[in-house]
Structure 1
């Protein structure tokens, strides 16, 4: 009884060759799609993560500064009319003469 059959041996080699070829084709297709995607995305106006984080930090700092300035302005505002004397109305509660 023969333990090796030439037909099955050739068939196994051919199947291995097909598997290797298909695997190579898959890798090349993936690399090609990856390059196409990079080219497509590169043509659009997207920002990098680092740029986004930098602008986000700048916006947070600007918000903090605006809040501080609002508080400073509120502290500098005069009291509402009728509560305290002013240069235009030295007697609160009475209207100034014109």
Structure 2
């Protein structure tokens, strides 16, 4: 009976070690894949979400300023036409 328990203990230890190795390999594979993807994306000059949002906000502000300036120019044109 003692020999059978020892076999089960050894088998259990072996399985536990195998699970540790498998988890380590999984972690290394995930890290390698993430590094590869990051490198691939960087080579293609993709922008981050933060960069996109910053440029988007700049464009919205520029459009609003453009509209405001256009209205001021139109007002100046109409005053000039009234005086001329």
Using the size of structure 2 for normalisation, the TM-score is 0.76
Q: Say yes or no: does 1:6 pair with 2:14.
A: no
Alpha-carbon distance in 2 for matches of 1:2, 1:17: 22
Give the total of aligned pairs: 82
Q: Which residue of structure 2 aligns with residue 72 of structure 1? A: 72
- Name the CA distance, whole Å, in 2 between partners of 1:74 and 1:26: 66
Gap regions ≥5 residues in structure 2: none
Find the aligned partners of 1:73 and 1:26 in 2 and give their Cα distance.
64
Runs (4+) of structure 1 exceeding 2 A deviation are 1-4, 48-54, 76-79
Larger radius of gyration: 1
More displaced 10-residue stretch of structure 1: 32-41 or 45-54: 45-54
Shifted more, 49-58 versus 61-70: the winner is 49-58
Q: Gaps spanning 5+ residues in structure 1: where? A: 88-98
Residue in 2 that maps onto 1:25: 25
Higher relative contact order (CA 8 A, sep 6+): 1
Q: Which whole-Å CA distance do the structure 2 matches of 1:23 and 1:74 have between them?
A: 69
TM-score (norm 1): 0.67
Output the aligned Cα RMSD: 2.5
